[in-house]
Amino acid sequence: MPFRLRTAAAGAVLAAAVVLPSPAVAAARPPAAAAGPSTTAAPGWSAAPTGTARTSFYLEGPAGSALTDRLAVRNPSDRPLTVRLAGDGDGGDGQRAGAWLAFGTAQVTVPPRTQASVPFTAAVPRTAAPGSHPAALTVTGPGARIRIPVRLRVTGPTLSALTVEHVSVTRRGSAAVIRYTLVNRGNTALRPQVAVRADGLFGTLLRRPARPLPDVLPPGARTARTETWSDPPALDAVDVTLTATAAGGAQDTGTAAYTAVPWGTGVAAALLLAAGGGVWAVRRRRGRSGRAAPTGDGGAGPGPDDGGGPRRTGPVPGRPPAPDRRTAPGRAGRPQRPRRARRAPPRRSRRRDQGCAGERRER
């Protein structure tokens, strides 16, 4: 009997050693890590939309309106709870819809064993595009960060409009760079696609199909883009055409002219033009100097006796000028009167002369 009791006691001690770890083993285990931020409610407090059976917010209204709702923060503990409130989230169309959300205060303290109802406002901009704009409310407190979805919907008709502006082509080494600007002229966000085509004198040189751009273009926004053309022609006249399309029927086309001229050819042409202009100017100046009239003593150029050219028409140096007969004095020292021109007799008609001859014969 005593042997059986000793055996049972030994078995009980062994079982206890297996179930309960020894102090040395428990001390060897590392302590549990502290709880980090999470998107679920932390033990002891919670945040959710006011009311029942709501897990997210839904707000709807036209552009330029102010939409309101309330957030409930519960504190079941026996200590005050302090949380920070903020809006967060991208509207999915390049617009920060989370920035539309605003609280009256960024920090709220909830007394023990109570619930606080915190109002907030969604101020929809006048330029907001119609459609859905996802966002969220974040509540950050002791040991947790709760994120509550907010679905914002802006009502109103949608208008898709897109323009291609400021298209230009420039040379950069052996390549060419095509620059252009896309502008969203509508009230809805667009994700445009751009196709590029270049036509020269002898056919199509470049053809790129429509490719979507990585960025979303909000209403009223513009973006400057570039396209690299790695193998442009060395000598050609090119017309570059860019076609931009987007959802909703938005489409526009922009063009630019590009003249490809090699650097050496351009310099040679410029030098030839400059040389030709210089030769023409020199020849024209020489021609004017040869035809210029003499000045000073009235002498003209050399006559035929001096080696060619027109004869002198002015007075010869060293000789007195010849008197003018119209003003020279007469025999009596009086100026002569200018002679009158003799009038030619009137010419008779040939028929009249023949008639007179016939009358004479009859007589």
Cβ-Cβ contacts under 8 Å for 260 (sequence gap 6 or more): 171, 176, 232, 233, 234, 235, 236, 237, 238
For residues 182 and 101, state if they share a domain. Answer: no
Q: What is the pLDDT of residue 41?
A: 47
Average pLDDT over residues 79-83: 95
| Chosen domain end from 124, 155, 186 | 155
Predicted confidence (pLDDT) at residue 32 exceeds the cutoff of 70 = no
Task: Please list the helix, strand and coil fractions of the chain in percent, rounded to the nearest 5, in that order.
Answer: 20, 40, 40
Number of domains in the chain: 2
pLDDT > 90 in the chain, percent: 44
CA pair distance 97, 149, nearest whole angstrom:
12
Predicted confidence (pLDDT) at residue 256 exceeds the cutoff of 90 = yes
C-beta separation of 252 from 180 below 8 A: no
For residues 63 and 132, state if they share a domain. Answer: yes
For residues 57 and 141, state if they share a domain. Answer: yes
Q: What is the pLDDT of residues 312-338, one digit of tens each?
A: 555 656 666 666 655 555 555 555 566
Average pLDDT over residues 231-260: 92
For residues 108 and 201, state if they share a domain. Answer: no
Query: pTM of the prediction?
Result: 0.49
Q: Which of 54-58, 89-93, 101-105, 292-296 is least confident?
A: 292-296
Predicted confidence (pLDDT) at residue 171 exceeds the cutoff of 60 = yes
DSSP 334: S
For residues 150 and 173, state if they share a domain. Answer: no
Average pLDDT over residues 259-282: 70
pLDDT > 70 in the chain, percent: 63
- What is the residue range of 175's domain? 162-261
C-beta separation of 183 from 222 below 8 A: yes
| Chosen domain end from 233, 261, 289 | 261
Confidence class of residue 275 from pLDDT cuts 50, 70 and 90? confident
Q: Decide if 97 is inside a domain.
A: yes
| Chosen domain end from 220, 237, 261 | 261
Q: Decide if 284 is inside a domain.
A: no
Q: What is the pLDDT of residues 177-232, one digit of tens each?
A: 999 999 999 888 899 999 999 999 999 999 999 999 988 888 888 999 999 999 99
CATH classification at residue 257: 2.60.40.10
For residues 93 and 189, state if they share a domain. Answer: no
